[in-house]
Amino acid sequence: MTPMTKLKIDAVLDQKPVKISIELPPDIDRDLRAYAELMKRESGHSIEDPTKLIAPMLRRFMATDRSFIKFRRQMA
């Protein structure tokens, strides 16, 4: 058994979504599916639709982007 890793996201919140439509390259689709599989193995969280990972990944990315954080503070 491999040691547990610390994933960047750990849960997918069930919130009222805003509908958007995007096209993803096949490699990103494969990676989303692989990430969902890793989440299932590591945490037991089964993600039926790997595209549900996109929002928490974007949230995490924006929350840790220093330039974006600085910009948001300036805009407030």
**Rounded Cα distance, 62 and 65, in Å:** 5
In the chain, the percentage of residues whose pLDDT exceeds 90 is: 61
Q: Where are the domains of the chain?
A: 48-76
pLDDT higher for 2 or 67?
67
- Contact between residue 56 and residue 8 where contact means Cβ atoms under 8 Å apart: no
- In the prediction, which pLDDT does 14 show? 72
According to DSSP H, which parts of 1-76 are helical?
A: 26-43, 54-64, 66-75
pLDDT grade for 74, boundaries at 50, 70 and 90: very high
Q: What is the mean pLDDT of residues 50-70?
A: 92
pLDDT grade for 4, boundaries at 50, 70 and 90: low
- In the prediction, which pLDDT does 1 show? 47
